Amino acid sequence: MEVLILPTPEEVGRVAADRITSVVRAKPGAVLGLATGSSPQAIYAELARRVRDGSLDLALTRAFALDEYVGLPVDHPQSYAAVIARDVVGPLGMDPQRVRVPDGLSEDVERTTAEYELAIARAGGIDIQLLGIGANGHIGFNEPTSSLASRTRIKTLAPQTRADNARFFASLDEVPMHCITQGLGTILDARELLLVAQGEGKADAVAHAVEGPVSSMWPASALQLHPHATVILDEPAASRL
Ligand code: GLP
């Protein structure tokens, strides 16, 4: 695992954007794994700048989102389908037909999750998977105790995750109880992993992920099993290493 510690959150975004840029320049039809939440925002902003100035073209690039809430209408502003369309697909000039988000409204979740796995495999697998990290060490929505071999499936959100994400909703009650997330095994299948974290609130989770034992209690520690994982941190997020 490569760990980079940078002076500012903007630098974290720029260096992570460099990695994605080099993957896409080498392979315009590359398959990206997309994360939501605040952590990757600086990366998307930097990638959008490069698309606007013509130094990067993502029109042929394909993508799969990590996760989605269960039960939110697609046009709810906090559904990850809406977030990905608004914050990623539009600003990055991607083709919406080439970007998939798990269907959180499916009436046959088992089939939906199996199809999502199949779609990733048919696309040739994920070239570079972007990841944030929850304060409890989750990646995607793989909460503590998630199996290290898990695949895309429905999960119950941890109370802490619902509380952390309540800032995006009018109240805690509006935060869904369940989600669909790529599994830890699915994430580990990506050819390259790029985890970004900013701020002291992530320092404990980062320390467990990078230096702790590999454990389902700290799902991000699964990155230690991957041959090509990079963790990019600002100084507060790295403060307990
Ligand atoms: C969210 C997402 C994760 C994200 C994490 C951290 O709930 N499902 O993919 O990485 O929690 O969020 P943030 O970056 O906003 O701190």
Is 179 close to ligand 1, i.e. is its CB under 6 Å away? no
Q: Cα–Cα distance between 97 and 119 in angstroms, integer?
A: 13
User: Does the annotation mark 136 as catalytic?
Assistant: yes
Candidates 178, 168, 239; CA nearest to 210 is 239
Q: State ipTM.
A: 0.94
- The CATH number for 131's domain is 3.40.50.1360
Domain with 159, as residue range(s), is: 2-234
Q: Cα–Cα distance between 233 and 211 in angstroms, integer?
A: 14
Tens digit of each residue's pLDDT, the chain (241 residues) = 999 999 999 999 999 999 999 999 999 999 999 999 999 999 999 999 999 999 999 999 999 999 999 999 988 999 999 999 999 999 999 999 999 999 999 999 999 999 999 999 999 999 999 999 999 999 999 999 999 999 999 999 999 999 999 999 999 999 999 999 999 999 999 999 999 999 999 999 999 999 999 999 999 999 999 999 999 999 999 999 9
User: Does the annotation mark 164 as catalytic?
Assistant: no
Q: Is 147 inside a domain boundary?
A: yes
Is 165 close to ligand 1, i.e. is its CB under 6 Å away? yes
Q: Is 183 inside a domain boundary?
A: yes
Per-residue confidence (pLDDT) for residue 78, from 0 to 100: 96
Candidates 13, 225, 38; CA nearest to 4 is 13
Per-residue confidence (pLDDT) for residue 75, from 0 to 100: 86
| Strands lying side by side in the sheet with 67-69 | 67-69, 178-181, 153-156
User: Does the annotation mark 178 as catalytic?
Assistant: no
Contact 122, 115 (CB under 8 A): no
Q: Is 153 inside a domain boundary?
A: yes
Total domains, the chain: 1
CA-nearest residue, atom 6 of ligand 1: 134
Alpha helix (H) residue ranges in the chain: 9-26, 41-52, 80-84, 109-122, 159-165, 184-188, 203-211
